Chain A
Amino acid sequence: MKALLKFLWIQLNMDLREKGTLMNYYVIPLLFYIIIGSVFTQPETKSTLAATMIIFAVTMGAIVGIPGPLVKMRESGTLRAFSVNGISNGMVTFVHAISAFFHILIVSVIIFCTSHLIFKSDNPTYPVRFICVLLLFLLTSTAIGVLIGTFARNQSFVTTFSQLVFLPSILLSGIMFNTSMLPKVLMWGGRIFPATHAMQMFKGLAFHKQTNYSSMIALFVLTVIGVAAVMLTYLKIWKISSGELS
């Protein structure tokens, strides 16, 4: 346990020293938050600013930020170096994920605490539910980020695939504009992304606003996606550990 905490502390510090990670976890989400908070003036969009910007920050950090360093560690032989020193592939991945979780959580808390003060957005009607939705969405997104990083063969694949998940998540989830404005195909297509369900849950469960579909369905789908991502990642790492290091 002591070794695990030591590793986590070192990883948290390393992430802060790494420019790319710092950009994905902190700089871009916070910059985007400030710009959007300043630009969006309509009451409807402004009311849920904390939720929309948290969805952006979590998706950016988890889907774009997590997979790249995981693939780099595998390609450069870092995982092998850790492995021969007794630190398993699974442990390195786990610590990387937990560190990312904490960094993205910090950004989310910053947005949550400042959106009302700076941009006069609405506070959630049910703050505890807001935090629960945030944690579930963050866990699911982190699991998907790790899944992409574990399965991706190389950096170019990870860059392409992360963008394939990130961009539709932002455009089709309803954080930029209401999904009812989208053609039906895109509206339904958007529902494969966790960000869409998170948006519905924030709206329905935390802000007590009207949703496009039941928040409980969104909760169920998000949970299933998260559990499936964790299981697939675990299976992949188990397969690697019991066989060969790639």
Chain B
Amino acid sequence: MSDSVISVKGLIKKYGAISAVNGISFSVKQGEIYGLLGPNGAGKTTTLECLEGLRRIDGGNIIVAGCNPQKDKKKIRNIMGVQLQSSSLPDGILVSEAMALVCAWHETKYRSDLLECFGIEGMVKKKYHQLSTGQQRRLHLALALVCNPSVVVLDEPTAGLDVEGRAQLHNEIRKLKKQNVTMLLATHDMAEAEGLCDQISIVIKGTVAVTGTPFEVTAASKRDTRIAIRTGRNSLSSNCKIEGATFFKEKDCYSIWTCSDSALAIGALMQRVKEANDFVIDLRVERPSLEESFLELVSGGEMK
């Protein structure tokens, strides 16, 4: 794939006799947000650390923006912004000092715009240990963007953040996407992946179990689609026989049906409502969520 900004082929990383990453391959196009999902210990963070040049690989090939992170460590720092899963700064460093230091290292002017962007411009005289977890994460992300990177790697960026903090960070990630920045995101948060990512890979035991858009991954689930329908005269009861749909349960005035082909089932349900001279008040189609698909994979199930 010539238009790939990040290309990982057959990546292998071992810790002694244990294979943490066992032949992972994926590629990320320019301006895309790519999500790596997986349970704890699946190899997401190790994959990212190999990509960041922090770990030596035992096999495979990694190219980021035409650069080999394993060899061109200095060059990669000017291409890639990184927010690590667990990192820290010295307790006594001031926010302004941290920004000044990283800017000096990248030979750029002081980036107060980034502090403003992440809402920490009022904390420049605060020491690192005086910041909340969310503020620390925002500072790390601001520092990662000092060199105007074309690739940003985020490892569990919203872990430990409150709802407001998460929403703010998601907005910043979307802004970066608008600037055509390519992002690689490792997360446990399925809603986050579903909402932000263009492509995802679910990693299990060091290998990629499934790859695709969040929609493709959920569509490949074996789990049936649920149709919840509310009618004026309750004409859809458990006694009804509907072609392509199976009655599941009644809940809060809704009759809930499961089906594998939602188009066929909805047509049959509408026909039944019409025949009963009834009318539809509300109709909801619930496809299996990414979280359900993920759990299905993790528990050993196979996708379609």
Contact = CB atoms under 8 A, between A and B. Distances in A.
Interface of A: 2-3, 6-7, 10, 13-14, 17-18, 69, 73, 76-78, 80-81, 83-87, 243-245
Nearest to A73: B90
Given A6-B100, A85-B102, A243-B56, A77 B87 contact: yes
Contact of B143 (A3, A10, A78, A85): A85
B89 interface: yes
A245 B146 contact: no
B88 interface: yes
A80 B89 CA distance: 9
A81 B55 contact: no
A100 B115 CA distance: 30
Interface stretch (B104-112, B266-274, B285-293): B104-112
B104 A2 contact: yes
A14 B92 contact: yes
A85 B82 CA distance: 8
Given A18-B91, A78-B89, A81-B87, A87 B54 contact: no
A10 B105 contact: no
A17 B92 contact: yes
A115 B16 CA distance: 57
A99 to B, nearest CB: 11
Contact of B90 (A6, A78, A245): A78
Interface in B141-185: 143-144, 146-147
Give the residue among A6, A7, A86 with the most B Cβ atoms within 10 A: A86
Q: Which A-B residue pairs are the 6 nearest by beta carbons?
A: A81-B87, A84-B82, A86-B77, A3-B104, A77-B87, A76-B88
B84 A14 contact: no
A85 B56 contact: no
Contact of A87 (B97, B101, B144): B101
B101 A77 contact: no
30 contacts: A2-B104, A3-B104, A6-B104, A10-B97, A10-B100, A14-B97, A17-B92, A69-B90, A78-B87, A78-B90, A81-B88, A81-B143, A83-B54, A84-B52, A84-B77, A84-B82, A84-B144, A85-B82, A85-B105, A85-B143, A85-B146, A86-B74, A86-B102, A86-B105, A86-B106, A86-B147, A87-B101, A243-B56, A244-B55, A244-B56
Contacts of B104: 2-3, 6-7
B68 interface: no
A243 B78 CA distance: 20
Interface residues of B, number: 31
Main secondary structure of the interface of B (DSSP, over half): loop
Contact of B84 (A3, A10, A13, A81): A81
Given A85-B105, A85-B143, A80 B54 contact: yes
B207 to A, nearest CB: 22
Contacts of B105: 3, 7, 85-87
Contacts of B106: 86
Interface string B74-99: 10011000101011111111000100
Contacts of A18: 91-92
A85 B56 CA distance: 18
A80 B90 contact: no
A3 B148 CA distance: 18
Contacts of A245: 54-55
Contacts of B74: 86
B140 interface: yes
Given A6-B100, A87-B101, A80 B84 contact: yes
Nearest to B91: A18
Given A3-B104, A244-B56, A245-B54, A80 B87 contact: yes
Given A77-B84, A85-B105, A245-B54, 11 more contacts: A2-B104, A6-B101, A6-B104, A7-B101, A13-B97, A14-B97, A77-B86, A81-B87, A81-B143, A86-B78, A86-B105
B222 interface: no
B127 interface: yes
A10 B93 contact: yes
A193 B255 CA distance: 83
